[in-house]
Amino acid sequence: MKKNIFLWLAAIILVVTAVYTVNNYKAGAGGGIIPGKQEQQTEQSASDSNPADQSENDEQITGHQEQGRINLMDSFDFTLEDLDGNNVALSQFRGKKVFLNFWATWCPPCKAEMPDIEKLYQETKDTDLVILAVNVGEDKNTVKSFIEKNNYNFTVLLDVKGEVSQLYQVTGIPTSYFIDTKGYLDGGTTGSIPLESMKGYVDNLE
């Protein structure tokens, strides 16, 4: 009898532990693809705590967001060096569509999608689309050698210290963001994507 009771208690503990673990996993999953999500929630909590300031807070939030979207050029601007030694800022492309890709030369999925990024570049280089491929954590010589060897022509930026990838909450590479002409984040995904999917994201940009 005591043995049966012990077995039942053990089973109940295992079930409770499993449910708790699954719920925690679901709560934490997918949070890294949207920069500023935590900041947005903090701003919303502040406005909820003081109804008298609701209108003022709404106006401030609207300055950075449009219908709940995040303006990366306003709130998450950055400046990085390209392979020619020029400083390039995200915000200098306001008015253009931006395909922002985080990658590394040692990353197989990154290398797998690079030919499609080059094809997209060749098809759109005379349009208002800008492709920015941000290399994460590697030195200039390594990156430049890889780009020249493969004859890629899109703009490559160097995030040597990983500060921009951290700002953008990049938890895996490749990670891609698609930014509209006003600077708002319109879509994003982690993992390599084929050419047709890239075109689909770009076609949705305004």
- The structural domains of the chain, with segments of one domain joined by +, span 1-27, 34-63, 70-203
Alpha-carbon gap, residue 63 to 7, rounded angstroms: 59
Long-range contacts of 64-70 (CB under 8 A, 24+ apart): 65/40, 65/184, 66/182, 66/184, 69/184, 69/185, 69/186, 70/34, 70/35, 70/36, 70/40, 70/184, 70/185
pLDDT of residue 34: 53
CATH topology assigned to domain 70-203: Glutaredoxin (3.40.30)
pLDDT of residue 68: 77
The answer to whether 175 touches 102, Cβ cutoff 8 Å, is yes
Alpha-carbon gap, residue 58 to 3, rounded angstroms: 61
- pTM for the structure as a whole: 0.71
User: pLDDT tens digits for the chain (206 residues)?
Assistant: 544 444 444 444 443 333 333 333 333 333 345 564 434 433 333 334 344 444 443 344 334 445 678 999 999 999 999 999 999 999 999 999 999 999 999 999 999 999 999 999 999 999 999 999 999 999 999 999 999 999 999 999 999 999 999 999 999 999 999 999 999 999 999 999 999 999 999 999 99
Where are the extended beta strands (E) located within 79-199?
79-82, 87-89, 97-103, 129-136, 155-159, 175-179, 185-190
pLDDT of residue 173: 97
Classify strands 79-82 and 87-89 as parallel, antiparallel or unpaired: antiparallel
Q: Which 8-state DSSP code applies to residue 187?
A: E
